[in-house]
Structure 1
Amino acid sequence: MLTVLVADDELPAVEELAFLLGRDPRIGTVHRATSGQGALAVLAEHDVDALFLDIHMPGLSGLQLARRIAARPHPPAVVFVTADEDCALEAFELAAVDYLLKPVRTERLAVTVGRVAELVAAPAGAAPVEMITVDQGGVSRIIRLDEVRFIQAQGDYARLHTAEASYLIRVPLADLEQRWAEAGFLRIHRSYLVCMPFVTSLKLGSAKPSVSVGGAELPVSRRHLPVLRERLQATRVRPGP
């Protein structure tokens, strides 16, 4: 069970987020604060696993508070909750676990709580999730590598597909194949890399082999089919002796 702190200068926003968090079975205690200084006072009395911080609070902002606690030996995880998309880059430079936009959706919050739980349970010294800077409509955004379900080649560019959107980056697919192999990405076609944990079904015995990732059906080329079969065989559960 996670202990968390919600800090926002608007009390209704505090209570709404605290209510949503309290409905998640992974959350135990929810502390509340209506200012950055109030959050520091709570942290002086209680150990918490994660902070859910509004960015724009008068006096001590959420970003300033995150910088202060980052200097501690074992700082809690930080999640920024805001209506402002422009601070995402700065937020992730502070090693934020996530960046939630208001109004917070229950499904999206559940994903964030899962990420906090994984971070808390991770062994000391575990490598953090890689963050990727992307441009969308002239706005720089940060997405997590573990959000990317598959990647599609588009000339010298690659399009990263997540559950919510897709993003074009100026990196060839071949470079990403090498860079992200250890993160579970596998080449299945000259135009596609797929993150294996997101594969929901496979059609490998048909005339046109394919894999399904969410609602997308991606082709598997004959050239890459043996490697895909080998990967599946390595992860197959076998009966014990």
Structure 2
Amino acid sequence: MDDVAGTRHAEPAPGLRALVVDDEQPVLEELVYLLGRDDRVGVVETARSGAEALRKLEADRIDLAFLDVAMPGLSGIDVARIVGQFRTPPRIVFVTAHDNHAVDAFELGAVDYLLKPIREERLRESIRRAVDVGEATPETDETIPVELGGVTRFVRRSTITHVEAQGDYVRLHTADGHGHLLRTPLTGLVDAWSDAGFVRIHRSIAVNLAHVREVRMQAGRCSVVVPRGDELTELQVSRRHTPFLRDRIHDRSR
């Protein structure tokens, strides 16, 4: 295995520059190994403490930092709070054996929250989220915490294709085909996200205009097409909401 005490590549490489911070050597080595198997990652650096991590974060550009929550001295939460003040902070993924710091992670704008032991498939999902965040506009994007089976995950608003009302909840549909329940009324959500391009197309559905691939008019009925994993899904637009949708699309295309 490559030396995990420093940088995995001696020369600059394309892709994300990652920093893994953990005081447990086996965890450190496992994460370095798994990150090395992902072609979206170019360089992997490591640190065994929060203080060492801060020195590396100040000395070099790091795109993505995997921070162990519980470490002697400065914790991963402490490090994240400090680097959050950087002009260009790295995207943060917290790594921990427990899930009781999920709220702190959300408040600090973490991309994801990984539970040990780390599964490669789950790690790849974290990297995908980091890439999505990097492509979004930080000033306009938002992170939404969603819970499933006692685990809190974080969904970027920019990845949501449409929102569907389900009783007292809404289901957030993302471009990768996943759905996440959030306890909030659809009307309030659309009002809050209107400036981000979300438009109500039905009494129970709102769509993110950034993800609309097609607008179809057939026999006087309107529908929109959005991505759903590797496929596309068609959403019907009510007659009542069609004029407003067309106006919003027109305004956005100017």
TM-score (norm 1): 0.74
The equivalent residue for 1:38 is 52
Q: Is the 8 A contact 1:89 1:141 kept in 2?
A: no
Q: 2:98 aligns with which of 51, 70, 84?
A: 84
The equivalent residue for 1:29 is 43
Q: CA deviation at 1:181?
A: 1.1
Q: 1:167 aligns with which of 164, 181, 184?
A: 181
Q: Which amino acid in 2 is paired with 1:29?
A: V
Cα distance in structure 2, aligned partners of 1:10 and 1:164? 33
The equivalent residue for 1:108 is 125
Q: CA deviation at 1:90?
A: 0.5
Q: Is the 8 A contact 2:93 2:126 kept in 1?
A: no
Whether 2:146 is the aligned partner of 1:129: answer: no
The equivalent residue for 1:158 is 170
Secondary structure in 1 aligned to 2:218? coil
Cα distance in structure 1, aligned partners of 2:135 and 2:250? 27
Q: 2:189 aligns with which of 158, 165, 176?
A: 176
Cα distance in structure 1, aligned partners of 2:85 and 2:249? 43
The equivalent residue for 2:7 is none
Cα distance in structure 1, aligned partners of 2:67 and 2:220? 52
Change (3 A) 1:128 1:22: farther
The equivalent residue for 1:99 is 113
Whether 2:242 is the aligned partner of 1:225: answer: yes
The equivalent residue for 2:8 is none
Map Cα deviations across residues 147-196 of structure 1 (whole Å, 9 max, x no partner).
Answer: 4322122455433333433213232x222222111112111111110112
Q: CA deviation at 1:199?
A: 3.2
Percent identity (aligned): 44
Change (3 A) 1:55 1:97: same
Question: Unaligned stretches of 5+ in structure 1?
Answer: none
The equivalent residue for 1:66 is 80
Q: 1:17 aligns with which of 31, 43, 46?
A: 31
Whether 2:207 is the aligned partner of 1:191: answer: no
Q: Which amino acid in 1 is paired with 2:43?
A: T
Q: 1:117 aligns with which of 129, 134, 142?
A: 134
Cα distance in structure 2, aligned partners of 1:133 and 1:52? 19
Secondary structure in 2 aligned to 1:180? helix
Change (3 A) 1:86 1:153: same
Cα distance in structure 2, aligned partners of 1:235 and 1:73? 30
TM-score (norm 2): 0.71
Q: Which amino acid in 2 is paired with 1:146?
A: S
Cα distance in structure 1, aligned partners of 2:171 and 2:202? 14
Q: Is the 8 A contact 2:132 2:159 kept in 1?
A: no
Q: CA deviation at 1:118?
A: 3.6
Cα distance in structure 2, aligned partners of 1:235 and 1:69? 35
Question: Unaligned stretches of 5+ in structure 2?
Answer: 1-13
Q: Is the 8 A contact 1:188 1:219 kept in 2?
A: yes
Change (3 A) 1:74 1:186: closer
Cα distance in structure 2, aligned partners of 1:9 and 1:134? 29
The equivalent residue for 2:161 is 149
